[in-house]
């Protein structure tokens, strides 16, 4: 979406002079400013906070949440919600751990996890679109189903000891300057890039926005509403499964109590990232920033050492409230 | 083609041109109700085709049959020489039939260019080529003479521009037929001109345009040919230039004038002459719904409001009752010059309003007849002062008897009653509050002839007892039978007010049609 095509033949100087970020980018810009501000404040207050490795750790510790938030962004943009992703993460870690324990090839195990997650998402999407069940209810059912399946496989935690998995988990990528990161971060960032491209530049992506903007209109415009509505839940299911694999690598275990309530963190990140809960407005980049803001709050608390970790929840709650109110005011002014 | 006796189809030979769309003997039924009964319509390239008819005539159903929203039960649709049956809007679009609805059916959160081209945007390597998309959108907009930035968000533009963008979407690719379903209802005069410019350009490009509008002047300004529907049936296909406005109104409303004029007016009683104005409106207006209108109501008088759909008759009623707030003008109720800000104020001043949309704005189907009847009285007493059981029972029994409501059971569920009986319960709801002014908007629509007569008799009786009644109806003979004075409306304003001394239906029709001639001459 280029906003510069407005003027027929503007000089470069004209473009620079008259450039102002379009109003639709404002929420993302606000989240970015918030993130920079928090990081700056941390840097002033605590020694070593601004070390690039702190930022890299932030990505590392939240890679799975980034992937979840990406999938959630698709769903929320279409005007829906997906409550099942936390449970799907737990199910994914469990399937991976169990199949590896049974001696499956690690690659087959990964593919199985991704297929199961995508199928679960597709199933919920089909229910939501064709039976016209509210997304909240359909995915709530998905939440219980996935968590229940996890218990069915095992109530105990199963460690992941497979060589490929552990190598992947510990392998670090050295960056210039002696910093390092992991493959999980690369996967998470790649997911963001692919999702951003799909949303901005494909017919599927733009139809997601159209459906979120006005589903009845999208149908009358002759757009493929059914494919998109089922598709976003399939994508969210895939992302939850991928996030589950990353979480499995992070914890090296499969456990039925993994990721309890993580769907709410993902939703919070998407909303703080400036995506409207009513659908149609928002960007994947915002969701990435939303996850980073959530992560920074945690980093803050661990750097401080004296603050109770429950402050994380309180700050997240307050931020969420502020962002929802601001969004409401912004959209009200437009209409 | 089979026709009923009513149908007289004049088919003019078109030697040079084949119709781009031909709908033959289309029938659609919903449940047991026949919405369209063997209706035919032909669309020729390079013509604006007006689809005419009163509310409920079947215009929207016919359009939805053509655009694949409804599936037809019988008949054939031939597009460009091939028989088609559309099951989705997408299929109709693929065949070159695009629709612009009254409500803008686009998405406000995408850009103008995306709204025009989504679903067929230019792509490169599977990705949308934004540059090419914006270029193509700008070309189309320029072709239509529109100066809109394709990269801007649709929601940032006024409704009129959004409407024009919707048309631009419709014509972008090979649209052979563009359907405009009441596109002008929310536009002002300048914007309508702009729309007509666009329509003329399209006509020059050989596009067939279906145009639906309740404004007769607009039809005469832009349309070439028209199809007139009534009660789900085809009346006639006509050339606009060969049909006078009077003839058109007559065809739309339907009964033979001679029959109408023989209607007995015995039921109408002499006006209780009273000099006390109950309600006095001076220069009442509201942007987009009613131009400045004066109206005075006296005790014991029935004032009939006549006019076609969209003439402003319902809008007048809503303003009088405070259901909509007026931008300008004054309203005196019993000489107190207080603004009616809401229906509650109106009810406090002993006014009552029975809305035309009884399903959505009146009937509560899951409550009993008694509950429905006592709603307004309870509301005006305040919820903390319950009506004593004995009073309730007496009131309900009395009104069920007086209005002959069937079944005569206070505990029957409202939704199980017939339309006519529901209407009587609603009337009872307001009569229980003992109002001075009763505003009835289409009280007899869609109910059987027996109930209709009862309601008409009731209105006459109420006026004889001193109540002032505003009676709005699409059926002119009914208005003329009941009222002492007739207010004729057209194009959202009052054009004439006359005492009902042997006024005939054709007189009123001539006033409605004649006004148009005068304005045409005036502007010419």
Domains defined for chain A, CATH in brackets: 25-334 (1.10.3470)
Q: How far A279 CA sits from the closest chain B CA (Å)?
A: 10
Q: How far A129 CA sits from the closest chain B CA (Å)?
A: 16
At B405, list the tokens.
């409501």
Which of B267, B323, B185, B255 lies closest to B475 in space, CA to CA? Answer: B255
What contacts B27, CB < 8 A, 6 or more positions away? B34, B36, B37, B38, B39, B72, B73, B74, B75
Query: In terms of CA atoms, which chain A residue is nearest residue B159?
Result: A335
Residues B344 and B491 in one domain: yes
Residues B80 and B193 in one domain: yes
* CB nearest to A1's CB, from B88, B111, B169: B111
Rg (CA), chain B: 26
Distance between CA A224 and CA A211 in Å, rounded? Answer: 9
Residues B425 and B442 in one domain: no
> How much is the average pLDDT of A23-33?
81
Residues B342 and B373 in one domain: no
CB contact under 8 A, A2 and B131: yes
Residue B463 forms part of a structural domain? no
Residue B198 forms part of a structural domain? yes
CA distances from A62 to A56, A93, A126, A187 (A): 10, 16, 30, 12
Residues B214 and B79 in one domain: yes
Q: Is the pLDDT of residue A9 over 70?
A: no
What contacts B476, CB < 8 A, 6 or more positions away? B253, B260, B306, B505, B508, B509
Residue B356 forms part of a structural domain? no
CB contact under 8 A, B105 and A334: no
Residue A20: what pLDDT? 57
- Answer whether B252's CB lies under 8 Å from B347's CB: no
Which of B15, B11, B42, B37 lies closest to B26 in space, CA to CA? Answer: B37
- Answer whether A208's CB lies under 8 Å from A74's CB: yes
DSSP letter string over A150-203? HHHH-SS-EE---HHHHHHHH-EEE-TTS-EEEHHHHHHHHHHHHHHHHHHHSH
Residue B521: what pLDDT? 47
Alpha helices in B343-500 (DSSP H): 343-348, 358-361, 369-381, 389-402, 419-431, 449-464, 476-482
Total residues belonging to chain B: 524
Query: In terms of CA atoms, which chain B residue is nearest residue A206?
Result: B118
Total residues belonging to chain A: 335
Residues B398 and B443 in one domain: no
Residues B68 and B199 in one domain: yes
Q: How far B163 CA sits from the closest chain A CA (Å)?
A: 13
Query: In terms of CA atoms, which chain A residue is nearest residue B92?
Result: A222
Residue B265 forms part of a structural domain? no
3-class DSSP state for residue B480? Answer: helix
Q: Is the pLDDT of residue A159 over 50?
A: yes
What contacts B377, CB < 8 A, 6 or more positions away? B387, B395, B429, B432, B433
- Half-sphere exposure of residue B181, counting CA atoms within 13 Å on the CB side? 18
> How much is the average pLDDT of A86-114?
94
Tens of pLDDT, residue by residue over A282-328, are: 999 999 999 999 898 888 888 887 877 788 888 888 888 887 787 67
Residue that terminates a domain, selected from B172, B194, B209? B172
Q: How far B68 CA sits from the closest chain A CA (Å)?
A: 10
- Assign A140 a pLDDT band (cuts: 50, 70, 90): very high
- Answer whether B485's CB lies under 8 Å from B305's CB: no
For residue B413, the 8-state DSSP code is: B
Tens of pLDDT, residue by residue over B377-420, are: 888 787 788 888 888 899 899 888 888 887 788 888 888 777 77
Residue B459 forms part of a structural domain? no
Residue A3: what pLDDT? 42
CB contact under 8 A, B107 and A218: yes
First to last CA, chain B: 42
Interface of A to B at Cβ within 8 Å reads 1-6, 22, 24, 197, 201-203, 206-207, 209-210, 212-214, 216-224, 280-281, 334
Residue B457 forms part of a structural domain? no
Strand partners, B228: B52, B236
Q: Is the pLDDT of residue A147 over 90?
A: yes
Distance between CA A162 and CA A325 in Å, rounded? Answer: 47
User: Count of domains in chain B?
Assistant: 4
Distance between CA B344 and CA B225 in Å, rounded? Answer: 47
Residue-level pLDDT, tens digit, chain B, 524 residues: 444 444 444 444 444 578 889 999 999 887 666 788 899 999 999 899 999 887 667 888 898 888 888 888 889 999 888 888 888 877 888 888 888 876 677 888 888 998 888 877 888 777 888 888 899 999 888 887 888 888 888 888 877 788 888 888 887 766 789 898 887 766 767 778 888 888 888 888 888 999 988 777 888 888 999 999 887 889 889 898 888 877 887 788 765 444 434 444 444 445 555 677 888 888 888 887 888 888 888 888 889 998 887 788 888 988 888 888 888 888 888 767 766 778 888 888 888 888 877 777 778 888 888 999 988 888 878 778 888 888 889 989 988 888 888 778 888 888 877 777 888 888 889 888 888 899 998 887 766 666 777 788 888 888 888 889 999 987 787 888 888 889 999 888 888 888 888 788 888 888 888 765 555 444 43
- Answer whether B78's CB lies under 8 Å from B24's CB: yes
Domain that holds residue B21: 1-96+174-254
- Assign A2 a pLDDT band (cuts: 50, 70, 90): very low
CB contact under 8 A, B93 and A222: yes
Distance between CA B507 and CA B302 in Å, rounded? Answer: 19
Distance between CA B214 and CA A278 in Å, rounded? Answer: 35
User: How many percent of chain A have pLDDT more than 90?
Assistant: 52
Phi–psi pair at B29, nearest 5 degrees:
-125, 140
CB contact under 8 A, B150 and A201: no
- Answer whether B430's CB lies under 8 Å from B438's CB: yes
Residues B82 and B185 in one domain: yes
Q: Dihedral sign, CA of A199, A200, A205, A209?
A: positive
Residues B91 and B196 in one domain: yes
A contacts of B106 (beta carbons < 8 Å): 214, 217, 221
Residue B263, number of CB atoms within 10 A of its CB: 15
3-class DSSP state for residue B306? Answer: strand
Q: Is the pLDDT of residue A38 over 50?
A: yes
Interface contacts (A, B; CB < 8 Å): 90
Q: At what angle do helices B130-143 and B159-172 cross, to 10 degrees?
A: 100
Query: Is the bond preceding residue B407 a cis peptide, omega within 30 degrees?
Result: yes
Residue B88 forms part of a structural domain? yes
Q: How far A138 CA sits from the closest chain B CA (Å)?
A: 26
Mutate to test the interface with A, among B108, B109, B121, B154 (most CBs of A within 10 A): B109
Residues B286 and B343 in one domain: yes
Strand partners, B180: B100, B211
Show the 3-state SS of A43-75: HHHCCCCCCHHHHHHHHHHHHHHHHHHHHHHHH
Q: Dihedral sign, CA of B138, B141, B145, B148?
A: negative
Residue that terminates a domain, selected from B141, B172, B203? B172
Distance between CA B439 and CA B302 in Å, rounded? Answer: 10
At A233, list the tokens.
């839940």
At B362, list the tokens.
């009146």
What contacts A269, CB < 8 A, 6 or more positions away? A65, A69, A72, A287, A290, A291, A293, A294
Residues B160 and B303 in one domain: no
Residue B487 forms part of a structural domain? yes
Mutate to test the interface with B, among A218, A221, A223, A226 (most CBs of B within 10 A): A221
Query: In terms of CA atoms, which chain B residue is nearest residue A216?
Result: B105
At B118, list the tokens.
């989504």
Q: Is the pLDDT of residue A42 over 90?
A: no
Distance between CA A161 and CA A4 in Å, rounded? Answer: 53
Residue B176: what pLDDT? 86
* CB nearest to B110's CB, from A209, A222, A334: A209
Residue with token string 């914890």: A251
Residues B443 and B522 in one domain: yes
Residue B254: what pLDDT? 67
The CATH number linked to B242 is 3.40.50.300
């Amino acid at each position: 979406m280029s906003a510069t095509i407005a003027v027929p033949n503007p000089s470069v100087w004209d473009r620079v002079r008259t450039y102002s970020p379009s109003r639709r980018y404002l929420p993302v810009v606000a989240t970015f400013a918030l993130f920079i501000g928090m990081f700056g404040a941390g840097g002033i207050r605590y020694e070593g906070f601004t070390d690039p490795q702190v930022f890299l750790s932030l990505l590392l510790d939240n890679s799975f949440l980034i992937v979840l938030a990406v999938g959630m962004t698709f769903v929320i943009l279409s005007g829906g919600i997906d409550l099942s992703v936390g449970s799907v993460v737990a199910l994914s870690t469990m399937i991976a751990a169990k199949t590896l324990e049974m001696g499956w090839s690690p690659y087959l195990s990964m593919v199985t996890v991704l297929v199961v997650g995508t199928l679960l998402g597709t199933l919920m999407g089909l229910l939501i679109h064709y039976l016209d069940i509210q997304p909240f209810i359909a995915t709530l059912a998905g939440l219980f189903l996935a968590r229940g399946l996890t218990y069915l496989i095992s109530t105990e935690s199963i460690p992941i000891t497979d060589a490929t998995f552990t190598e992947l988990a510990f392998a670090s990528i050295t960056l210039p300057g002696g910093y390092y990161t992991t493959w999980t971060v690369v996967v998470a960032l790649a997911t963001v890039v692919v999702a951003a491209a799909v949303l901005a530049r494909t017919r599927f992506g733009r139809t997601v926005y159209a459906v979120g903007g006005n589903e009845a209109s999208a149908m009358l415009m002759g757009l493929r509403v059914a494919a998109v509505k089922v598709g976003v839940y399939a994508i969210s299911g895939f992302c939850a499964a991928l996030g589950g694999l990353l979480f499995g690598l992070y914890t090296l275990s499969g456990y039925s109590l993994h990721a309890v309530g993580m769907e709410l963190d993902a939703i919070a990140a998407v909303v703080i990232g400036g995506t409207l809960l009513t659908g149609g407005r928002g960007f994947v980049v915002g969701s990435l920033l939303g996850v980073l803001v959530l992560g920074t709050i945690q980093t803050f608390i661990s750097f401080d050492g004296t603050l109770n970790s429950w402050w994380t929840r309180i700050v997240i709650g307050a931020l969420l409230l502020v962002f929802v109110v601001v969004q409401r005011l912004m959209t009200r002014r437009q209409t | 083609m089979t026709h009923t006796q009513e149908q007289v189809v004049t088919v003019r030979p078109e030697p040079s041109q084949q119709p781009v769309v031909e709908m033959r003997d289309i029938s659609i039924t919903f449940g047991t109700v026949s919405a369209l009964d063997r209706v035919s319509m032909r669309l020729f390239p390079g013509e604006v085709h007006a689809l005419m008819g009163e509310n409920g005539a079947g215009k929207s159903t016919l359009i939805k049959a053509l655009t694949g929203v409804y599936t037809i039960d019988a008949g054939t649709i031939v597009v460009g020489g091939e028989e088609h049956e559309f099951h989705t809007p997408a299929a109709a679009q693929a065949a070159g039939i695009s629709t612009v609805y009254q409500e803008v059916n686009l998405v406000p959160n995408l850009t103008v260019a995306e709204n025009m081209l989504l679903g067929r945007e230019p792509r490169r390597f599977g990705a949308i080529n934004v540059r090419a998309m914006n270029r193509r959108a700008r070309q189309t907009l320029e072709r239509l003479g529109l100066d809109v930035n394709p990269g801007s968000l649709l929601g940032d533009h006024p409704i009129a521009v959004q409407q024009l963008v919707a048309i631009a979407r419709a014509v972008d690719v090979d649209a052979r037929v563009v359907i405009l379903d009441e596109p002008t209802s929310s536009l002002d005069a300048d914007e309508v001109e702009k729309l007509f410019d666009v329509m003329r350009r399209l006509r020059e490009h050989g596009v067939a345009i279906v145009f639906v509008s309740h404004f007769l002047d607009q039809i005469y300004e832009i349309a070439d040919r028209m199809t007139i529907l009534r009660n789900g049936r085809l009346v006639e296909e006509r050339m606009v230039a060969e049909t006078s406005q009077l003839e058109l109104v007559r065809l739309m409303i339907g009964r033979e004038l001679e029959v109408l004029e023989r209607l007995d007016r015995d039921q109408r009683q002499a006006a209780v002459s009273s000099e006390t104005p109950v309600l006095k409106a001076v220069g009442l207006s509201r942007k987009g719904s009613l131009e400045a209108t004066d109206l005075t109501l006296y005790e014991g008088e029935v004032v009939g409001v006549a006019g076609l759909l969209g003439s402003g008759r319902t809008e007048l009623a809503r303003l009088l009752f405070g259901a909509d707030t007026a931008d300008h003008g004054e309203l005196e109720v019993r000489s107190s010059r207080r603004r009616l800000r809401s229906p509650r104020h109106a009810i406090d001043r002993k006014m009552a309003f029975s809305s035309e949309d009884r399903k959505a704005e009146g009937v509560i189907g899951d409550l009993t007849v008694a509950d429905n009847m006592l709603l307004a009285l309870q509301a005006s007493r305040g919820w903390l002062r319950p009506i004593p059981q004995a009073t309730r029972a007496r009131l309900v029994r009395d009104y069920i008897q007086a209005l002959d409501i069937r079944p005569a059971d206070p505990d029957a569920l409202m939704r199980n009653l017939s339309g006519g009986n529901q209407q009587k319960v609603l009337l009872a709801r307001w009569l229980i509050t003992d109002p001075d002014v009763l505003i009835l908007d289409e009280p007899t629509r869609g109910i059987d002839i027996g109930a209709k007569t009862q309601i008409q008799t009731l209105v006459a009786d109420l006026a004889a007892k001193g109540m002032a009644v505003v009676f709005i109806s699409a059926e002119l003979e009914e208005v003329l039978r009941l009222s002492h004075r007739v207010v004729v409306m057209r194009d959202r304003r009052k054009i004439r007010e006359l005492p009902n001394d042997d006024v005939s239906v054709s007189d009123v029709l001539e006033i409605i049609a004649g006004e148009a001639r005068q304005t045409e001459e005036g502007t010419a």
